[in-house]
């Protein structure tokens, strides 16, 4: 039982429940009993929601029931000493059961039934005696092992039950059987409802008795009335009749008003009012009328708020109020837990908070009372009596005789004394923390903060400075953010005080620095004091004069100071308004060898001067922020106003004169005056940073203090401009300063290149001469000279130029470094090693571009070198030259090397890789653009011998190839030679015997023509190709193919390959060709010792495709025969290639090489033009592939021979040779008809039947004697099949034959006049 | 009549605050600060229908000694008025009138071209007028 008069007793707080007492159970020893007890009372049961609220009590065998008081006959003159007895509720809750249940182990068929029955009856009798004068019900439960039989069947049971009830003197309804089998819980539940019924009737009876009592009372018995109402309410609650209970409680509460309150009974009335109010509110919440409950509580508090009672015991009143609030808050919480929704403005937190406030008032009152007591009674306070002696058996009544002033005084003093031992702070803090939890739930975060501040204050008052400091410093950022200056100042100063008292150096320094800000509403003198104290701390001395510091704090400080983890970080982003700092890079971009310069602008925002030990700027790579660098500011300028700082930014002459020429050196602990602007400078060499990185200002740091203790004011560099701010030019820093938060360290590339294109720069050094550039032509080896120079004082190694052709042009554009006669290795990418370049050295690299198409060629040029990183500090900077590092030397065909001024490119084209610790490789990608122009436009056409367009070639017949060439080259060219290299299956002869001469220079637009007679001796099917040769060679066991394939030379080899390797092949070729196909050994070109045969060797075959017969495309397909190789070998100079084969004609391996796309159209040969630029030495060849026609097998070959010159009256032979190319015998009828008889006189067979054997020839000879001069029509020979001799031939085939004849035989002949000699 | 009149910016930092009792100022500031919780909550609820938005928020909360009323402008500037709880005579209409007048005074004050939006109100004229309003003699 608590002795605190104001607290509510625990019996009041619980929900009253009917009490049922169990006896006869020996739970300690008998397991069955234990199981039964647990079935009723155990946690198992409590889970059932629908379970009736019953409280069980295990009664020991000799339990003493309270003795009932003798009934009073009349209450007329009865005056109770108090309203409610302390033990009444307890008695009915825990002591006096409404039902007593006796458990007995008795089986119906027990052998010792009679003895047990007697024993049981005795116990029942004893209980009955004990419960005399009570209405307590008694019932008997038999614990049996077996399940009972249905009633009426077990005769023995019925009989014995009857005898037992008789013996015990109870009704049969009071006898229960509890079989302790598996369904114990179920049985227990059923029994419980039976017990509850009995309990209900007991309590109903009880309330009836109380009502009887009440009805006897007169109006004078107010206190008794209240008591009875309370009891009725309580009993109603026991019966679970809550609305009745509430009614009674409310009646009692109303009756309290009838009692006049004076100092003496005030405590009792308030206590009772509190009890009743609690009950009412609780039931109201339970009955789902929370508004009523809250109203009731507010009315209650209003009613009794002013009833203080004894002035000396005001603290008691406050304690009572506090309890009222906290208890109500708990009720509220309980209701919320049961589903009541609360509001932001109406929730338990408010009541907890009020409760806490009342505890504070209670403490104040107690202190007051104690002080008053000390002052008034010099006499020593009476020795502490037993505190219990102050209380009576009634609630709220002291054991002091009313009206006895001295005794009252004594009692009050004693209470005061007791009050002093109460820990108010703990109570306040507990209540506040509960309130905070509630406020947090209901989204009152600011209120919660306020509560936290209150709590911190309470900790502070209770002397727990460390906890107070923790709480304060937690709240500090919140209020800082809110920008409530007054509140923040309050909190800050309190924090500072806590830090001072708890000896927390870090917090003390942080708070002091923040307290220097002008935002805090205090005087300058206070700030100076703060500053002085701060410096004292920095110097390792506790702040404040010793006299003002308690000894405990003094010791705390002396022990804390040596252990300070200096420096103490203070984030100026949060603690603003003390020092403003911003930093900027002097330049946005820097070269690697430049000096990196930073500006730091600092201003003291408060009105006291600050001493700053040093300023630092932390930089970091944007790429990898863990690389950070710290720079210290060493020099400074000081400007009293911002305009001067601004003036310095834009130096004009006047300003420069006024300015101090040199910045001053920054000294340690320099004093920064408030209001002035300090411009500080940091500088370092950019070399120490990685190249090609962006440097970012990460943090600005200002050191304040001494070596032992220091504060580190840090501030992030995120200097953001405020949008929509008021523009004050003289005030805002960001209007006056440009901030470059990022600096790009551009890498230095130590090489410059200059590219010269075209002819005329053989030495590669133009020496500034103006040279007309030549334009690149197709099929030309176009020289490119790249001059690589090193303008730096650096020794570079492994300098290399790597040129590559874009992927799209790899089949038509090639590179080479070597154009020595014979052949060239062609590559799609080349690497030219320049070697080493000493300081200021230069070197050239020459290469040639060869293109087969007109296109714009964009070559990727990549320069690379390695250098030692670990170079001397003066290495780069001694060179005064400002590097134009990202100098993209994009060379255009018109020969200008443009150097692009370094733009503000974020990403440099320079790549840097670290080979190892000391060496790095730098490379740069550029593009080299060359436009390639056409050389010739070439068309070719086939004609028959009589100059008709040819659609089909017949085997063994001559036809014409007419090749037209048009010069399209932009520059003048000299054509040295042109020739046709035909396939070896074809026979070539000149159409005219005139020697072609190319002597002139040709310029664009001029045209050339050449006509060539061709003949084939085989149809397309029978063409011998290189493959056949291969095949044949293989059959002979020779690895021909391997001989055709020359070993791939090493691409890196710079030496020109000797033209000898074809020797083996040529030997073989000549041999095989001579031996196998000797007929092909034909020398065609009489003017040349060289036979125009082309041996296209293995890889790098010039296999071409020509679009029909008039397209000039010469495409160099890549031989995929041996897989793709980066290096391809091309016999480029056709003539030399022919020489390489031993003057054999070769195969145009179109079919052979284009295996991916074998064309049905044969290739008849390559037309080749050798040319050179005017005034140049290098010879070039343009080759055009001539795609042929289908070669058909004619049914008959007709060769007509007619003399070249015919003269009048000179006989001549007109010989027609008919050759049968087939395997059959041909039977023909030849008819010669002379249409005009006066032309010729003709002799010979006019009509002749001819039979020609297979592959045989037949000659028809006619003698013609021309009679007239001029164009004369020849006699017409017509052939037709002899259908008689050869019935297979049809007339229709005669048409074909006729066509053949028409084509083959000349129609007219020119007859010359007779020769003079003849005439003579 | 009123204990305290406060004008609070949209970022919840005070623009102007005056109290009739300097001794209680800190306590009142805490109260006004805490009242912002309720203001925020009420504004949050009112967000659904901006058309019919009532600027006057009514009683925010009351303590034993104070009643705290709130008002929020369309630009989220809050006016808080703290009134003595014991003054039963004061009707809600009068509180509304105070807010209406305060709103007018505020708009007048910020119409000053030299006033920087978001900074604290230092206008003497405004201060005088608010003091009058507070004492009930406006």
Question: How confident is the model over A410-435, as pLDDT tens digits?
Answer: 777 777 777 777 888 888 889 999 88
Q: Which helix (H) or strand (E) holds A694?
A: strand A693-705
CB contact under 8 A, B12 and A482: yes
pLDDT at position A887? 33
Using the structure block, give the residue that is written with the tokens 């659609």.
A951
- Chain A nearest-CA residue for B60: A345
Tally the C-alpha atoms within 13 A of residue A941's C-alpha that lie toward its C-beta: 10
Calculate how close chain A gets to B132, using CA atoms only, in Å: 23
Asked if A486 lies within 8 A of B119 by C-beta distance, the reply is no
Report yes or no: B106 and B80 within 8 Å, Cβ to Cβ: no
All residues of chain B having their beta carbon less than 8 Å from the beta carbon of residue A345 are 38, 60-61
Residues on A contacting B at a C-beta cutoff of 8 Å: 344-345, 354, 443-447, 449-450, 453, 482-487, 490, 724-726
**Contact check, Cβ <8 Å, B33/A446:** yes
CB contact under 8 A, A443 and B116: no
Cα–Cα distance, A1018 to A1016 (Å, whole number): 6
The boundaries of the domain holding residue B70 are: 2-135
Based on C-alpha coordinates, what's the Rg of chain B?
14
* Closest Cβ–Cβ partner in A344, A449, A486 for B38: A344
- Candidates B25, B34, B117; nearest CB to A486: B25
Residue contact A726–B60, C-beta within 8 A: no
| Residue A171: CA count within 13 A, CB half-sphere | 3
Contact (CB<8Å) A344/B36: no
Q: Between A and B, how many residue pairs show a Cβ–Cβ distance under 8 A?
A: 50
CB contact under 8 A, A345 and B37: no
Nearest CA-CA partner of A867 in A751, A779, A1041: A751
pTM over 0.95, yes/no: no
**Is there a contact between B33 and A485 if contact means CB atoms under 8 Å apart?**
no
The token duo for A334 is 């309980």
Nearest CA distance, B30 vs chain A (angstrom): 7
What's the CATH code of the domain at B25? 3.30.450.70
Is A569 within 8 Å of A712 (Cβ atoms)?
yes
What is the C-alpha separation between A43 and A865, in angstroms, rounded?
86
Residue A286, pLDDT above cutoff 70? yes
Residue A996: HSE in the Cβ half-sphere, 13 Å Cα cutoff: 19
DSSP state of A390: G
Q: What's the total number of domains in chain B?
A: 1
Statement: residue A1048 has pLDDT above 80: no
Local structure of residue A216 (DSSP, 8 states):
H
d(CA A309, CA A261): 9
| Average pLDDT of the segment spanning A1056-1081 | 34
Nearest residue on chain B to A453, alpha-carbon basis: B30
pLDDT band (50, 70, 90) for residue A882 = very low
Q: Which residue of B has its CA nearest to A447?
A: B34
**A536-550, A871-885, A962-976: segment of lowest average pLDDT:** A871-885
Interface with chain B: mutation pick from A446, A475, A492, A493, highest number of B CBs within 10 Å:
A446
Asked if B37's CB is within 8 angstroms of A447's CB, the reply is yes
Best residue in A321, A438, A486 to probe B by mutation, most B CBs within 10 Å? A486
Angle formed by the axes of helices A445-461 and A348-376, to 10°? 20
Name the residue with tokens 């600005």: A700
Nearest chain A residue to B113 by CA: give it: A726
Give dist(CA A891, CA A860) in Å, integer: 11
Closest partner CB to B33 (pick from A344, A354, A487): A487
Question: Mean pLDDT: which of A85-89, A323-327, A393-397, B1-5 is highest?
Answer: A323-327
**Residue B34 to residue A444, Cβ atoms within 8 A:** yes
Q: Collect all residues of chain B within an 8 Å Cβ-Cβ radius of residue A485.
A: 14
Q: Is residue A871's pLDDT more than 60?
A: no
- Note the pLDDT of residue B105: 92
pLDDT tens-digit readout, A490-499: 888 888 888 8
CA dist B16 and A1041 (Å) reads 101
Mean pLDDT of chain B: 84
Phi, psi of A694 (to 5 degrees): -100, 130
Nearest CA in chain A to B116: A726
Q: What is the nearest CA distance from B17 to chain A, expressed in angstroms?
A: 10
Chain A: closest CA distance from residue B116 (Å): 6
Give yes or no for residue A993 having a pLDDT over 60.
no
CA atoms within 13 A of residue A922's CA, in its CB half-sphere: 20
Residues in B touching A447 (Cβ below 8 Å): 34, 37
- Across A445-479, b (16+ Cβ under 10 Å) vs e yields ebbbbbbbbbbbbbbbebebbbbbbbbbbebbeeb
Residues comprising chain A, all counted: 1320
Question: A447, A456, A483: which to substitute to probe chain B, counting the most B Cβ within 10 Å?
Answer: A447
Q: Are A345 and B116 within 8 A, CB to CB?
A: no
CB A943 within 8 A of CB A885: no
Residue A1154, pLDDT > 60, answer no
B33, B37, B117 ranked by CB distance to A443: nearest: B37
Report the residue of chain B nearest A443, measured CA to CA.
Answer: B37
Burial (CB count <10 Å: 0-12, 13-18, 19+), residue A556: buried
**Of A397, A400, A403, A461, residue with least CA distance to A429:** A461
Q: From CA A371, how far away is CA A218, in angstroms rounded?
A: 46
Which of chain A's residues have a Cβ under 8 Å away from the Cβ of B41?
344, 443
For A67-74, what is the mean pLDDT?
68
Rounded to a whole number, what is the distance in Å from the CA of B34 to chain A's nearest CA? Answer: 5
A-chain residue closest to B44, CA distance: A443
Query: What percent of chain A clears pLDDT 70, i.e. is strictly above it?
Result: 74
pLDDT exceeds 50 at position A1055: no
Among B25, B29, B61, beta carbon nearest to A345: B61
Residue A1073 has pLDDT above 60, yes or no: no
Q: Cα distance from B114 to chain A (closest Cα, Å)? A: 9
Residue of B nearest to A726 (CA): B116
Q: How far apart are CA B132 and CA B2, in angstroms?
A: 10
CA distance A667 to chain B (A): 38
Contacts of A726 in chain B (CB under 8 A): 116, 119
Q: Looking at per-residue confidence, does A624 or A1159 come out higher?
A: A624
Smallest Cα distance from A294 to chain B, Å: 15
Q: Is the pLDDT assigned to residue A654 strictly greater than 50?
A: no
Secondary structure of residue B127 in the 3-state scheme: helix
For residue A264, give both structure tokens. Answer: 């003496």
Distance from CA of B52 to the nearest CA of A (A): 23
Contact A967, A936 (CB under 8 A): yes
pLDDT confidence bin for A1295, thresholds 50/70/90: confident
Give the tens place of pLDDT for each residue, A623-643: 666 777 788 888 888 877 776
Nearest Cα neighbor of A1162 from A1118, A1103, A1120, A1113 is A1103
- Record: contact B14-A483, CB cut-off 8 A: yes
> Which tens digit of pLDDT belongs to each residue from A105-131?
877 777 778 888 888 888 888 888 887
Cβ–Cβ gap B33/A445 under 8 Å: no
Place B47 in a pLDDT band, splitting at 50, 70 and 90.
low
- The tokens 């009743």 sit on which residue? A276
Q: How confident is the model at residue A1318 (pLDDT cuts 50, 70, 90)?
A: low
The reply to whether residue B14 touches residue A484, judged by beta carbons under 8 angstroms, is: yes
Residues of B with CB under 8 A from a CB of A: 11-14, 17, 25-26, 29-30, 33-34, 36-38, 40-41, 60-61, 64, 116-117, 119
Average pLDDT over residues A515-520: 79
Q: Where do we find the tokens 């909550």?
A: B41
pLDDT tier for residue A800 given thresholds of 50, 70 and 90 = confident
From A565, A816, A574, select the one nearest A709 (Cα to Cα). A565
Number of separate helices (H) and strands (E) present in chain A: 31, 53
Complex confidence, ipTM: 0.90
Q: How far is residue A500's CA from residue A492's CA, in Å, rounded to a whole number?
A: 12
The Cα A131–Cα A68 span in angstroms is 9
Q: Which residues of A touch B30 (CB under 8 A)?
A: 450, 453, 487
Helices (H), B47-111: 92-110
Contact A487 B29 (CB under 8 A): yes
Question: What mean pLDDT comes out for the span A548-554?
Answer: 77
The chain-wide mean pLDDT, for chain A, equals 72
- Mean pLDDT within A535-556: 78
Mean pLDDT (whole number) for A1284-1307? 73
Q: Of A444, A453, A486, which is closest to B37 when you measure between CB atoms?
A: A444
B59: nearest CA in chain A? A345
Report the C-alpha gap between A832 and A1052 in whole angstroms.
9
Q: What are phi and psi of A1085, to 5 degrees?
A: -80, 110
- A1132 pLDDT higher than 70: no
Asked if residue A451 has pLDDT above 60, the reply is: yes
């Amino acid at each position: 039982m608590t002795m605190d008069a104001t607290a509510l007793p625990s019996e009041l707080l619980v929900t009253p429940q009917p009490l049922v007492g169990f006896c006869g159970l020996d739970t300690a020893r008998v397991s069955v009993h234990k199981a039964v007890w647990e079935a009723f009372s155990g946690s198992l049961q409590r889970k059932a929601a629908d379970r009736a609220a019953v409280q069980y009590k295990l009664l020991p065998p000799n339990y003493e029931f309270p003795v009932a008081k003798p009934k009073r006959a009349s209450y007329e003159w009865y005056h109770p000493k108090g309203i409610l007895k302390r033990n009444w509720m307890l008695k009915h809750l825990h002591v006096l059961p409404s039902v007593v249940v006796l458990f007995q182990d008795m089986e119906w068929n027990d052998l010792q039934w009679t003895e047990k029955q007697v024993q049981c009856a005795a116990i029942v009798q004893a209980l009955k005696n004990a419960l005399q004068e009570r209405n307590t019900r008694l019932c008997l439960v038999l614990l049996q092992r077996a399940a009972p039989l249905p009633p009426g069947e077990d005769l023995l049971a019925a009989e014995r039950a009857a005898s037992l009830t008789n013996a015990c003197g109870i009704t049969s309804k009071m006898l229960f059987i509890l079989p302790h089998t598996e369904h114990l819980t179920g049985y227990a539940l059923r029994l419980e409802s039976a017990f509850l019924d009995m309990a209900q009737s007991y309590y109903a009876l009880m309330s009836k008795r109380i009502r009887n009592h009440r009805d006897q009372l007169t109006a004078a018995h107010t206190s008794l009335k209240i008591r009875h109402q309370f009891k009725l309410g309580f009993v109603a609650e026991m019966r679970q009749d809550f609305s009745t209970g509430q009614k009674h409680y409310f009646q009692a509460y109303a009756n309290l008003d009838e009692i006049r309150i004076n100092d003496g009974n005030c405590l009792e009335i308030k206590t009772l009012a509190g009890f009743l109010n609690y009950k009412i509110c609780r039931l109201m919440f339970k009955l789902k009328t929370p508004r009523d409950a809250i109203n009731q509580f507010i009315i209650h508090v209003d009613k009794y708020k002013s009833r203080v009672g004894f002035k000396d015991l005001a603290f008691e009143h406050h304690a009572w109020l506090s309890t009222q609030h906290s208890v109500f808050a708990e009720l509220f919480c309980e209701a919320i837990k049961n589903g009541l929704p609360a509001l932001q403005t109406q929730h338990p937190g408010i009541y907890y908070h009020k409760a806490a406030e009342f505890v504070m008032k209670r403490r104040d009152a107690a202190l007051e009372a104690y002080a008053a007591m000390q002052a008034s009674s010099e006499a020593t306070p009476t020795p502490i009596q037993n505190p219990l002696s102050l209380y009576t058996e009634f609630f709220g009544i002291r054991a002091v005789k009313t009206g006895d002033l001295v005794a009252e005084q004594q009692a009050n003093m004693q209470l005061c004394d007791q009050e002093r031992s109460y820990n108010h702070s703990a109570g306040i803090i507990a209540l506040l923390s509960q309130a905070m939890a509630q406020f947090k739930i209901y989204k009152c975060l600011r209120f919660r903060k306020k509560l936290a501040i209150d709590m911190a204050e309470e900790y502070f008052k209770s002397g727990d400075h460390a906890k107070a400091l923790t709480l304060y410093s937690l709240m500090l950022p919140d209020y800082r953010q809110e920008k409530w200056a007054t509140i923040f100042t309050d909190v800050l100063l309190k924090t500072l005080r806590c830090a001072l008292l708890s000896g927390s150096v870090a917090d003390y320094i942080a708070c002091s620095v923040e307290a220097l800000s002008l935002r805090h509403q205090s005087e300058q003198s206070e700030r100076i004091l703060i500053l002085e104290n701060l410096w004292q701390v920095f110097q390792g001395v506790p702040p404040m004069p010793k006299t003002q510091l308690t000894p405990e704090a003094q010791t705390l400080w002396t022990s804390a100071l040596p252990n300070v983890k200096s420096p103490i970080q203070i984030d100026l982003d949060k603690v603003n308004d003390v020092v403003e700092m911003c930093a900027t890079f002097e330049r946005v971009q820097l070269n690697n060898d430049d000096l990196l310069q930073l500006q730091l602008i600092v201003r003291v925002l408060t009105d006291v001067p600050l001493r700053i030990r040093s300023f630092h700027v932390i930089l970091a790579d944007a790429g990898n922020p863990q690389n950070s660098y710290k720079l210290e500011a060493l020099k400074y300028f000081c400007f009293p106003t911002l305009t001067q700082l601004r003036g310095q930014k834009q130096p004009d002459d006047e300003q420069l004169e006024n300015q101090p020429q040199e910045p001053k050196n920054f000294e340690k602990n320099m004093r920064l005056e408030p209001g002035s602007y300090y411009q500080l400078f940091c500088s370092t060499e950019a070399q120490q940073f990685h190249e090609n990185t962006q440097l970012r200002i990460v943090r600005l740091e200002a050191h304040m203090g001494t070596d032992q203790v220091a504060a580190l004011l840090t501030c992030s560099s995120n200097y953001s401009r405020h949008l929509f701010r008021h523009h004050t030019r003289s005030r805002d820093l960001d209007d006056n300063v440009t901030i470059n938060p990022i600096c790009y360290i551009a890498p230095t590339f130590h090489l410059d290149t200059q590219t010269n294109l075209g002819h005329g720069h053989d030495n590669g050094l133009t020496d500034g001469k103006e040279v007309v550039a030549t334009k690149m032509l197709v099929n030309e080896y176009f020289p490119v000279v790249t001059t690589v120079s090193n303008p730096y004082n650096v020794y570079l190694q492994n300098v290399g130029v790597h040129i590559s052709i874009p992927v799209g042009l790899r089949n038509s554009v090639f590179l080479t470094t070597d154009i020595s006669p014979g052949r060239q290795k062609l590559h799609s990418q080349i690497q030219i090693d320049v070697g080493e370049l000493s300081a200021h050295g230069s070197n050239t690299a020459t290469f040639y571009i060869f293109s087969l198409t007109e296109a714009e060629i964009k070559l990727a040029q990549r320069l690379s070198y390695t250098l030692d990183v670990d170079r001397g500090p003066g290495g780069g900077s001694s060179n005064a030259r400002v590097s134009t590092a990202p100098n993209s030397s994009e060379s255009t065909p018109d020969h200008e090397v443009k150097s692009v001024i370094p733009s503000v490119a974020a990403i440099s084209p320079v790549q840097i890789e670290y080979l190892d610790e000391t060496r790095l490789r730098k490379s740069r990608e550029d593009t080299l653009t060359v436009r390639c122009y056409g050389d010739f436009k070439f068309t070719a056409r086939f004609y028959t011998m009589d100059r008709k367009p040819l659609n089909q070639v017949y085997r063994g017949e001559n036809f014409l190839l007419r090749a037209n060439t048009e010069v399209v080259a932009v520059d003048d060219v000299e054509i040295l030679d042109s020739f046709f290299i035909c396939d070896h299956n074809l026979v070539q002869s000149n159409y005219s015997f005139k020697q072609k001469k190319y002597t002139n220079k040709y310029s664009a637009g001029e045209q050339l023509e050449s006509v060539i007679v061709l003949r084939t001796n085989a149809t397309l099917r029978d063409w011998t190709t290189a493959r056949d040769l291969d095949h044949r060679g293989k059959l002979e066991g020779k690895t021909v193919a391997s001989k055709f394939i020359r070993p791939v030379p090493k691409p890196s080899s710079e030496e020109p390959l000797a033209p000898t390797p074809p020797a083996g092949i040529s030997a073989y070729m000549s041999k095989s060709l001579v031996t196998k196909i000797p007929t092909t050994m034909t020398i065609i070109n009489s003017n040349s010792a060289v036979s125009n045969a082309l041996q296209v060797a293995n890889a790098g075959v010039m296999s071409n495709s020509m679009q029909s017969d008039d397209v000039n495309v010469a495409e160099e397909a890549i031989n995929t025969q041996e897989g793709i190789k980066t290096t391809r070998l091309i016999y480029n100079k056709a003539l030399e290639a022919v020489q390489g084969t031993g003057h054999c004609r070769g195969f145009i391996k179109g079919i052979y090489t284009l295996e991916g796309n074998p064309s049905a159209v044969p290739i008849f040969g390559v037309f080749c033009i050798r040319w050179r630029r005017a005034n140049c030495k290098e010879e070039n060849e343009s080759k055009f592939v001539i795609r042929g026609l289908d070669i058909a097998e004619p049914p008959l070959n007709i060769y007509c021979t007619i003399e070249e010159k015919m003269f009048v009256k000179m006989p001549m032979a007109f010989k027609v040779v008919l050759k049968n190319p087939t395997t059959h015998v041909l039977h023909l009828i030849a008819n010669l008809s002379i249409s005009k008889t006066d032309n010729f006189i003709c002799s010979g067979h006019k009509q002749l039947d001819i039979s020609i054997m297979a592959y045989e020839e037949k000659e028809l000879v006619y003698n013609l004697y021309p009679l007239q001069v001029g164009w004369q029509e020849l006699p017409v020979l017509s052939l037709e099949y002899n259908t008689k001799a050869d019935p297979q031939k049809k007339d229709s085939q005669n048409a074909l034959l006729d066509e053949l004849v028409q084509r083959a035989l000349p129609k007219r002949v020119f007859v010359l006049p007779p020769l003079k000699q003849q005439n003579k | 009549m009123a204990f305290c009149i406060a004008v609070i910016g949209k970022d919840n930092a005070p623009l102007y605050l005056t109290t009739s009792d300097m001794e209680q100022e800190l306590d009142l500031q805490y109260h006004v600060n805490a009242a912002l919780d309720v203001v925020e909550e009420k504004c949050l609820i009112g967000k659904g229908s901006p058309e019919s938005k009532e600027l006057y928020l009514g009683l925010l909360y009351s303590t034993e000694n104070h009643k705290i009323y709130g008002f929020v402008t369309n630009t989220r500037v809050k006016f808080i008025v703290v009134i003595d709880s014991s003054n039963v005579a004061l009707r809600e209409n009068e509180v509304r009138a105070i807010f209406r007048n305060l709103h007018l005074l505020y708009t007048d004050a910020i119409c000053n071209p030299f006033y920087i939006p978001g900074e604290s109100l230092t206008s003497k004229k405004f201060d005088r007028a608010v003091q009058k309003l507070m004492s009930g003699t406006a």
